[in-house]
Structure 1
Amino acid sequence: MDNGYAESIASDIMQMLESARESGLNMNSGFQNDAFKAEHFSFGYLFYPREMLLQVPHLPQSVRKKVKKSNILGLVDVEGKKVGIHLVCSLAKGFDDIESAEDILAGINGKELMDFKEQIAGILHKDLVGNIEDKNTEE
């Protein structure tokens, strides 16, 4: 796992949690944060407590085994369809009990985080290459 990337994501997630807390949101009822939106794709995070996540239909058994009290999933949408859902973090405490990025870092699922990162990088690369190719054909 890329520790620098994991630390950066943990810090970003902590900021999302602090923002949700400041807005008066019930932290443990589940919520979503859209981190990045473009015309054809978006990336974000889903904050789900255990009870909610286990009610998701067709949740793979491999994911069910990793679910803890609080769970953070990385979401990837392309053309309005979910193409990636990654359980990037699982924590034994409630979202309202998370105090620091270190708490989040301790719950990071390394393989899931790297899969999320690679999927985003692939989509961004295709978008960039596509945009460059479109400009070249226009000239």
Structure 2
Amino acid sequence: MDKSYAESIASDIMNMLESAREQGLDMQSGFQNDAFTSPDFKFGYIFYPREVLLGVPNLPQSIRKKLKKSNIMATVDVEGKKIGIHLICSLPIEFAEIKSAEDILSGINNKGLMDYKEQVASILAEDLNQKTPTESTEQ
């Protein structure tokens, strides 16, 4: 696992949780946060308790097995279509009980986080390549 990346994500998630608390959201009902949006793609996070996620039809068994009391999934949308949902953190405590980024780090799902990182990097690289003008070799 890329420890600095995990620490950065944990810090971002902690900021999202603190913002949700400040807004008075019922955190155990679940909520979403769009971390980054552009005209072509969007990266976000879904915060849901286990009982809500178990009610999602067609949720893969591999993910169901990893669910704990509080779960954080990273989402990737391209051109308005969801192309990736990654379970990046599962914790045995309620969202309201999470006090620090270290709490989040303790529940990081390494595979989910790395899959998310690779998908985001691929999309950003492709976007950059499309926007970078190619130089003509003709003279």
Q: Normalising by the residue count of structure 1, what TM-score does the alignment of the two structures yield?
A: 0.95
- Counterpart in the other structure of 1:125: 125
- What SS does the corresponding residue of 2:68 show, helix, strand or coil? coil
- The corresponding residue for 1:20 is 20
Deviation at 1:26, TM superposition (A): 0.6
Q: 1:6-85 alignment to 2 at 5 Å?
A: 6-85=6-85
Q: CA deviation at 1:24?
A: 0.5
| Structure with bigger gyration radius | 2
Counterparts of 1:72 and 1:24, CA distance in 2:
19
Deviation at 1:27, TM superposition (A): 1.0
Q: Cα distance, 1:36 vs. partner?
A: 0.2
Number of equivalences: 136
What is the aligned-residue RMSD (CA, Å)?
1.1
Amino acid of the structure 1 residue aligned with 2:121: A
Q: Helix, strand or coil for the counterpart of 2:132?
A: helix
TM-fit CA distance, 1:94:
0.2
How far 1:54 sits from its partner (Å)? 0.7
Residue 136 of structure 1, CA deviation: 5.6
How far apart, in 2, do the equivalents of 1:27 and 1:39 lie? 29
- What residue number does 1:105 align with? 105
4+ residue stretches of structure 1 with deviation over 3 A?
A: none
Structure 1 unaligned regions, length at least 5: none
Counterparts of 1:46 and 1:64, CA distance in 2:
15
Match of 2:28, as an amino acid? N
Structure (1 or 2) with the greater helix fraction: 1
Q: Distance in 1 between matches of 2:127 and 2:22?
A: 35
Distance 2:68 2:59 in 1: 14
1:131 Cα offset (Å): 0.7
- Identity level (%): 68
